[in-house]
Amino acid sequence: MQKKGFTLVEILVAVMIVSLLVTMAVPMYDKTVEKSRMAEARTLMKKILESKLRTLDNMDRENYANGLFGFENLDVTIPCVDASTGARLTRCTGNTLYTKDFKYTLLPQGSVSGSTATIINGVCAVRRKGDNAGVNFLYLGELETNSNRDNFLCNDGAGDGSCEVYGLDSTASGWCS
């Protein structure tokens, strides 16, 4: 009489193969998730910049200044949260706002070597948590008129290659405090 079923060795081999596949897939999955978060942030930064420039134009101002207006004056809806509790807020105010994954700033600081853009008119974001926490992003959009410069920049701060996860080269300075 023959018994149907699997031997212990067959089961162990199957478990080892599955665990190897999972071990290889998880880092690729994490990288894909991080790229999707960046795509979402990039889209939001573009909307914020366009709204910021429209607001400056409506005020007949060329450059943004601290306290001139905040996120509450922009004509874009942003899903902001409280920085400490993570609770969703009904209204975003001030020069800085937090989302689940990023901190956005209306007043970037510093400069970009070789750039023609006025940095303070750009929009800045910092990754809030995870392996890439602290990575800075600067979006300049149409403010950057030098065709040799990218209008979306990254700075990993520590020089650990975090910008590479997003497919970007790290530049020499950070813009968000």
Domain ranges of the chain: 30-166
- The half-sphere exposure of 159 on its side-chain side, counting CA atoms within 13 A, is 2
Residue 19 confidence (pLDDT): 93
Distances, alpha carbon 45 to alpha carbons 10, 11, 25, 41, 129, in Å = 52, 50, 30, 6, 18
Two structure tokens written together for 116 = 């023609």
DSSP 101-152: SEEEESS--S--TT--S-GGGSEEEEE-SSTTTT-EEEE-GGG---TTS-SE
Two structure tokens written together for 160 = 């650990």
Residue 13 confidence (pLDDT): 95
Two structure tokens written together for 126 = 């910092």
Three-state secondary-structure class, residue 98 = strand
Per the CB < 8 A criterion, the answer to whether 114 and 148 are in contact is yes
Per the CB < 8 A criterion, the answer to whether 171 and 112 are in contact is yes
pLDDT tens, N- to C-terminus, the chain (177 residues): 677 888 999 999 999 999 999 888 888 888 888 888 888 899 999 999 999 999 999 999 888 888 888 899 998 988 899 988 989 998 888 889 999 999 999 888 877 776 767 788 889 999 988 888 888 888 888 877 777 777 888 888 656 678 888 888 877 677 776
Three-state secondary-structure class, residue 154 = strand
Residue 155 confidence (pLDDT): 85
Residue 116 confidence (pLDDT): 67
